[in-house]
Amino acid sequence: MFKSFFSLSVAVAVLTCSPVLAQCPHATQQQAAEQVSQTVPVQMVSAIVMPEGKDIVTTAVEAGSFKTLAAALGAADLVGALQGEGPFTVFAPTDDAFAALPAGTIDTLLKPESKEKLQAILKYHVVSGKIMAGDVLKAAEVETLQGSKAPVGLTIGGANIVKTDIVCSNGVIHVIDAVILPPSE
């Protein structure tokens, strides 16, 4: 990761303006800066604006395999919370994970009278803080936003973690293959 805007700007300018250095993984920042100063006016380098990262909800929706999760977050009034500053770690069940629940479960949970239960289930999939996969493997359990602790490792609460470290502007997503339920459920 780059530690300053200048370094980031130089890297972007080099990648977009100098195919020779972009293909050379051993180019130093000094070489990149020299190449940029020879090919790109300095005012262009300082004018580069990097797009902001996408939040957890936007990232999940755009992935296309979390439609049921997105609908559940909407029904539970949790979209705004997961678009907030965070950071959060979300163990996100796929559409297939939701489909594996007993018939009628999703329809029942999405009803307004099931909102509290749905919130509890969804909050059990969320941890405060940004916990990358390496740290998940070191922990025995994590404290969820629902209030219960969930056992973790290569799994969380019995669900397999199938994809890790999807970094978002307000946290990280780890994809799981099952919907996990809080201990009281």
Question: Taking the domains of the chain in order of start, what are their residue ranges?
Answer: 5-46, 56-176
For 5, 40, 147, 174, 177, the CA distances from 141, given in Å and listed in that order, are 37, 51, 12, 15, 18
Report the distance separating Cα 12 and Cα 15, nearest Å: 5
Max mean pLDDT range (29-33, 40-44, 83-87, 123-127):
123-127
pTM listed for this prediction: 0.70
User: For the segment 70-93, what is each residue's pLDDT rounded down to a tens digit?
Assistant: 999 999 999 999 999 989 999 999
Q: In terms of C-beta density within 10 A (0-12 exposed, 13-18 middle, 19 or more buried), how is residue 42 classed?
A: exposed
The whole-number average pLDDT for the span 29-35 is: 39
Q: How far is 33 from 29, CA to CA, in rounded Å? A: 6
User: Is the predicted pLDDT of residue 23 greater than 50, yes or no?
Assistant: no
Look at residue 164 and tell me whether its pLDDT is greater than 90.
Answer: yes
Fold of the domain spanning 56-176: FAS1 domain (2.30.180)
Confidence of residue 7 (pLDDT cuts 50, 70, 90): very low
